[in-house]
Each structure stands twice: as structure tokens, then as C-alpha cells.
Amino acid sequence: MSTLERPPTEFERKVYDAVQLVPKGMVTTYGLLGQYIACASAQAIGQALRRNPFAPETPCHRVVSRDLSIGGFYGTSEGEPIERKRRLLEREGVTFLENGLIDPKCCYEFDE
């Protein structure tokens, strides 16, 4: 059984449940998501999102780097997957600044 075919772990479910709270037109960062679920590892969160079997209903594309750059998508940080992530975000109403970063007004912060 591949990692994509196995059932999600308890940790992965926690990540997916939190990501579903991020509204359309908004993004959150790996760090903010980590604070919300009490996980200090952005890499662990990224790996959980990479394995997301519930996309696009569980919108892993709404999680970006702390500097509000796109970050990764489908296990890569360049090329067509990143362009696809940007298009998904733009279609949902996320706006980008001239420098390519996401407008901070689009950053969702979880309620504690």
C-alpha cells in the first residue's frame, strides 16, 4: 500500500481538519497552522498536506510560506505545480502583490 492509499494518520487528520477552516480567498502559513494544531514542524505539516487524499475539498493549496510566497505544492517548489497552486488561489480571490507575494490582507489567522 502506498502512502497515498493508506488511511490518514491522526496527525494528518488534525492538519486536514484545520486547513478546512481557512476560508476561500484566504491563505494561512505553515507556521500559523502549526501553532493552531500545536506542531512546531512546518516540514511535518508539509508532508501531511502532500499526502492529502481529500483535495480539493480539503484545500491544501491554501497553505503558504511564512513570507507569503507560494511555498510548495505536490511535493515540489517550482514548475507547473506551483503555477497551478497560484491559479487555484487566484480563482478563489487571493490577491498577489507586484513582487509575487500574497497580499497580507489575504492571510487567515486561526482563533485560539
User: 37: which residues sit within 8 A by CB, 6+ positions away?
Assistant: 14, 15, 18, 45
106 is catalytic: no
Question: Which of 39, 60, 106, 107 is labelled catalytic?
Answer: 60
* CA gap 93, 45 in Å, rounded: 24
CA-to-CA separations, 29 to 3, 7, 12, 26, 45, in angstroms, rounded: 24, 25, 16, 10, 10
Contact by Cβ (8 Å): 85, 65: no
Known catalytic residues are 60
